[in-house]
Amino acid sequence: MKSFLIIGMGSFGHHLCRALSEQKCEIMAVDRSSAAVEDVLPLVVSAKVGDCANEDVLRSFGVESFDACFVCLGDDVLGSLQITSLLKELGAKKVFSKAEDDLQAKFLLRNGADEIDMVINQGMAKAGDWEGVLQEIKGVKHFFSEEQVVLEHLASGGAAGQG
C-alpha cells in the first residue's frame, strides 16, 4: 500500500487527500490549523498540527518512509520553498510541490521538488476564454524550455493523462 505525506490542507490538499483516500492509500495530513486537519480526519491514517517549516517537526514524521511527499502551500511561497528543501534534505523519496505561477515553480525545482503541480486559471476556462488558457499553458511551457516538461491534464475524478 502506498503512503503519502500531504502538507497543507487548503483546497488542493483536501482534494488530494480525497483522491488518494479513494485509491486506498495511507495518508498523513499536516497543517498549521487544527480546523483544517479535522476536516480530513475520516480520509487519513494520521493527522498532525504543526509548522513544517521547522526541521524538527518534519523530522518527527519520518519523511523518508513515505512513498512521496506533497507540499500544497502554493500561496505561501517562502514556506513552500523551505519545506520542499527540508524534505529533500531529510531523505524524502519524491517531493511534489504546488506552485501558483511559473516563477515559483522554477524556484521550487531548484530547491529540490521532483515535480511541480500548477492549476491553470479555471475562471478563464469557465468564461470560455480558450485563447487565455492556451496562452497560459504556452507561457508555462516556454518558461521551462530548458527543463523537461510534461503537461498533464487532471480530469475531475480521473488520473493524470486522462480526460
pLDDT tens-place values along the chain, 163 residues long = 899 999 999 988 999 999 999 999 999 999 999 999 998 999 999 999 999 999 999 999 999 999 999 999 868 889 999 999 999 999 999 999 988 877 787 888 888 888 877 766 667 777 888 787 777 666 656 555 444 444 444 433 333 333 3
Q: What CA dihedral angle connects 121, 9, 57 and 62, to 10 degrees?
A: -90
Architecture field, domain 3-119:
3-Layer(aba) Sandwich (3.40)
Under a CB-based contact definition with an 8 Å cutoff, are residues 58 and 88 in contact? no
User: What Rg do the C-alpha atoms of the chain give, in angstroms?
Assistant: 16
Q: What is the pLDDT of residue 29?
A: 97
Any bridge partners for residue 148, and if so which? Answer: none
The pLDDT of residue 114: 85
Q: Where in the chain is the domain with CATH 3.40.50.720?
A: 3-119
